[in-house]
Amino acid sequence: MGAKLVAMEHPAYSQLRPVTDSVAVVLCPNPGYAALEGTNSWVIRAAGDPRSIVIDPGPEDEGHLNVLGAKASEVALILLTHRHYDHADGAQRFRQLTGAPVRAFDPSYCSTGQTPLVDGEVVTVDGVTPQIEVVYSPGHTSDSATFFIWSGVPHESNLEGIITGDTIAGRHTTMISETDGDLGQYLQTLHMLEERGKDVMLLPGHGPEGKDLSAYARKYIDRRQHRIDQIKDVQARLGEDVDLKTMIDEMYDDVDPVLRHAAEQSTRVALRYLKDQQA
């Protein structure tokens, strides 16, 4: 939900499209409201590298996983930005197809013998020149990660882009999980990405890449603050105990009925955040 950030331009499905010197994307053919045109499966390797790292193989779509495996050639490692099905459900099948281990922040998504990701660790793989800085980025879900793709050693080479999963999408805003998401943590994550993402390529879980991640993060922060201010205004006018339906009607007077459920979820998450702030 939210204003369109950039015009949508995407290649045909099931093609390997280079985005930076060390990052390419294969778009999964799973379009939908949440997935936009589909899930971006990222392939990390420099020119001449014999092996690759794949981030977010996507849903358990046999056709996509086979294409992704072929395009990525020898996959050495599979990483997950978070547990949602459209990013992670294909991981174990992709492991079977490639033999590559799976790592994530959530231990239940790691393959046997693999340790969960650790905030601040640097992922290196023999045969893959780029190195990946892992940054714990909770908010969308409790296990969300962002991956900073360096052309070589972190902070000594070029930061080519930041893979954000669902934390920031290539257009529109993103939802926060009601089960284990947290708006307070999400805002902290967005501020971190605004600070570290200046003039750095956005490599999102859905939608097109963007040239300046910090600008996207600022739009997200402003949008969330706008909704929080709206809630406070409605409560000031109609009382703290105003029911959710009335609040949604006041805040989203032009909302598409198709988006009503998303508006309700977003508002419940914001109300929980405000309650926590007052505690």
Which domains are assigned to the chain? Answer: 15-213 (3.60.15.10)
DSSP state of 206: B
Share of the chain above pLDDT 90, in %: 85
Indicate the SS3 state at residue 200. coil
Ranges of the chain with pLDDT below 70: 1-11
DSSP secondary-structure letter at 52? E
pTM over 0.85: yes
Following CA atoms 146, 151, 157, 159 in sequence, which dihedral angle do they give, to the nearest 10 degrees? -40
Q: State residue 27's pLDDT score.
A: 96
Q: What is the pLDDT of residue 262?
A: 86
Q: Are 41 and 57 in contact (CB under 8 A)?
A: yes
Question: What percent of the chain is helix, strand and coil (3-state, nearest 5)?
Answer: 35, 20, 45
Q: What is the per-residue pLDDT for 10?
A: 53
